[in-house]
């Protein structure tokens, strides 16, 4: 408390309960929680922790889905809730400078009067923060055409685990030398803490068209995704949901999704008004050619908002199916969607579990949600985790990845050898050591840890 003062430190057991978990299944207790208000506060705490060998775990809104904000080795949780100011809106240069605690949606709302917005739009954008987006390299439905967080960050102010303050990049896009900004984005707090972010702002589209297509089977919907991209049309978003997801969403949000469809696609094109109708017609023709049973164009802005509210509320809607769920985040080539979705469903069914599929189909980023009730089946989480491992192994085998936007964290660090050789992991470790030689920045994340990973057997799923 002497470092920051009593008002910026949480130290009682009851007050720290909130900081034991995020949106994943794991929990762990911090030794203390600090609420810095300035970069100087962050640096002071970091110097104290460095002197005493105490781990530091940065935390945004706690919406993460891989355990990135869990203090698995104890230490100090650094909550950025009070560093939530938009420092500058630079309209001529299409830039904004923000603190890490700024909520994603709040930035777009603030710059909307200037005809601008911040592109990355995770489903949790009403709550998640820009610092968390940087840590996880977050995506969202509209990153199909525009890219993920790293494509929209040009500069960072960071504090290393020894308290050193440094700047990487700035307002200009740097094309020469090492891409240190790109290295830091997606590093999940394992290289240090972000205290200031310079982001690109994008002009709002002149107009958009949003189409809901229903299919009898998920195979038909999956094949339609590849056909749309192969046609040369690149929508801003292509989202897919199966029947179980659709039923849960309709009960929760009443978005107007057809309840009898085996799979639905939500496809959006945007840009200059001229040409949008042609793009919409081409998309609808491809949907029909691949067996769409119905097509619906959002006729008003309100109807479009309802369709998107359904998709973005899908995770929360899982409570309509069961009180607990476990979600994965694998990535596969689009052309492998039908095959891998069958393997996803088989992984859950073989363990007596139900699974709801809702995901970013356009870039092959799967989000299988395995639902269960721990009150009735105490071992259901273990079975769900086994199914999750099998799903990720199938993704890697298909030429994909174990994560698209949720991060590795402590949930998937034991699975890194599925995708990376020992030499690859050693190279990553050298990068971490360069930024964090003391190993105090969010330890127990990304890299396999012997204390946790010896219980996992990857050989059985290869």
Average pLDDT along the chain, 462 residues, taken 10 residues at a time: 82 92 93 97 97 98 96 97 98 98 98 98 96 97 94 98 97 89 98 98 97 98 96 95 97 95 98 94 98 97 96 94 95 96 96 96 95 96 96 97 96 96 97 98 95 68 54
pTM value? 0.95
Residue pair 36/101 in contact by the 8 Å Cβ criterion? no
Cα dihedral across residues 311, 315, 316, 317: positive or negative: positive
How far is it, in rounded angstroms, from Cα 242 to Cα 291? Answer: 16
pLDDT for residue 173: 87
- Where does 139-232 have alpha helices with state H? 143-146, 180-184, 218-230
φ, ψ of residue 180 to 5 degrees: the values are -75, -30
Here the tokens at position 381 are 């989480």
Here the tokens at position 434 are 């360069």
Q: How, if at all, do strands 292-297 and 324-327 pair?
A: unpaired
Residue range(s) occupied by CATH 3.30.43.10 in the chain: 6-79
- Is CATH 3.30.43.10 the right assignment for the domain spanning 6-79? yes
CATH class of 86-203: alpha beta
How far is it, in rounded angstroms, from Cα 242 to Cα 245? Answer: 5
Q: What is the 3-state secondary structure (H, E, C) of 347-368?
A: HHHCCCCEEEEEEEHHHCECCE
Residue range(s) occupied by CATH 3.30.70.2190 in the chain: 207-317
Burial letters 219-257, b for 16+ CB under 10 A, else e? bbbbbbbbbbbeeebebbbbbbbbbbbbbbbbebbebeb
How far is it, in rounded angstroms, from Cα 333 to Cα 226? Answer: 10
pLDDT for residue 453: 86
pLDDT for residue 450: 86
> Which DSSP symbol is given to 267?
E
Here the tokens at position 128 are 């998640």
CA angle 388, 394, 395 (to 5 degrees): 90
Judged by DSSP in three states, 212 sits in: strand
How far is it, in rounded angstroms, from Cα 276 to Cα 315? Answer: 31
pLDDT for residue 456: 64
How far is it, in rounded angstroms, from Cα 365 to Cα 325? Answer: 18
CATH class of 207-317: alpha beta
How far is it, in rounded angstroms, from Cα 65 to Cα 301? Answer: 31
How far is it, in rounded angstroms, from Cα 414 to Cα 457? Answer: 9
pLDDT for residue 176: 83
pLDDT for residue 11: 81
């Amino acid at each position: 408390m002497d470092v920051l003062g009593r008002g910026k430190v949480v130290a009682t057991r009851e007050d720290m309960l909130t900081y034991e978990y995020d949106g994943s299944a794991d929990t762990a207790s911090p030794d203390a929680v600090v609420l810095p208000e300035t970069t100087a506060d962050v640096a002071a705490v970091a110097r104290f922790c460095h002197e005493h060998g105490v781990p530091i775990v940065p935390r945004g809104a706690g919406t993460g889905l891989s355990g990135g904000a869990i203090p698995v080795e104890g230490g100090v949780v650094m909550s950025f809730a009070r560093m939530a100011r938009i420092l500058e809106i630079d309209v001529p240069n299409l830039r904004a400078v923000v603190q890490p605690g700024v909520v994603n949606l709040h930035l777009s709302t603030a710059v909307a009067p200037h005809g601008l917005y911040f592109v990355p739009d995770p489903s949790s954008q009403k709550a998640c923060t820009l610092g968390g987006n940087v840590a996880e390299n977050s995506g969202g439905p509209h990153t199909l055409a525009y890219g993920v967080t790293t494509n929209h960050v040009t500069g960072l102010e960071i504090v290393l685990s020894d308290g050193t303050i440094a700047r990487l990049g700035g307002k200009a896009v740097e094309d020469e030398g090492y891409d240190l900004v790109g290295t830091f984005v997606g590093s999940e707090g394992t290289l240090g803490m972000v205290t200031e972010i310079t982001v690109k702002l994008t002009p709002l589209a002149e107009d958009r068209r949003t189409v809901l297509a229903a299919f009898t089977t998920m195979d038909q919907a999956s094949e339609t995704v590849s056909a749309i991209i192969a046609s040369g049309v690149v929508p801003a978003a292509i989202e897919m949901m199966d029947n179980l997801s659709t039923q849960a969403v309709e009960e929760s949000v009443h978005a107007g999704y057809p309840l009898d469809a085996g799979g639905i696609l939500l496809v959006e094109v945007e840009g200059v008004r001229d040409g949008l109708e042609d793009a919409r017609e081409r998309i609808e023709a491809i949907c029909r050619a691949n067996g769409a049973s119905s097509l619906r164009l959002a006729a008003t802005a309100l109807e479009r908002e309802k369709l998107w509210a359904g998709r973005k509320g899908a995770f929360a809607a899982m409570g309509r199916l069961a009180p607990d769920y476990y979600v994965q985040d694998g990535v596969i080539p689009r052309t492998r969607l039908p095959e891998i979705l069958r393997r996803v469903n088989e992984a859950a069914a073989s363990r007596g579990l139900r699974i709801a599929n809702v995901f970013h189909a356009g870039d092959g980023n799967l989000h299988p949600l395995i639902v269960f009730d721990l009150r009735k089946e105490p071992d259901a989480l273990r079975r769900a985790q086994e199914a999750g491992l099998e799903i990720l192994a199938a993704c890697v085998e298909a030429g994909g990845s174990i994560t698209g936007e949720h991060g590795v964290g402590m949930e998937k660090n034991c699975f890194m050898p599925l995708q990376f050789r020992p030499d690859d992991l050693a190279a990553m470790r050298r990068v971490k050591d360069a930024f964090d030689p003391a190993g105090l920045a969010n330890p127990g994340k990304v890299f396999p840890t012997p204390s946790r990973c010896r219980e996992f057997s990857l050989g059985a799923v290869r």
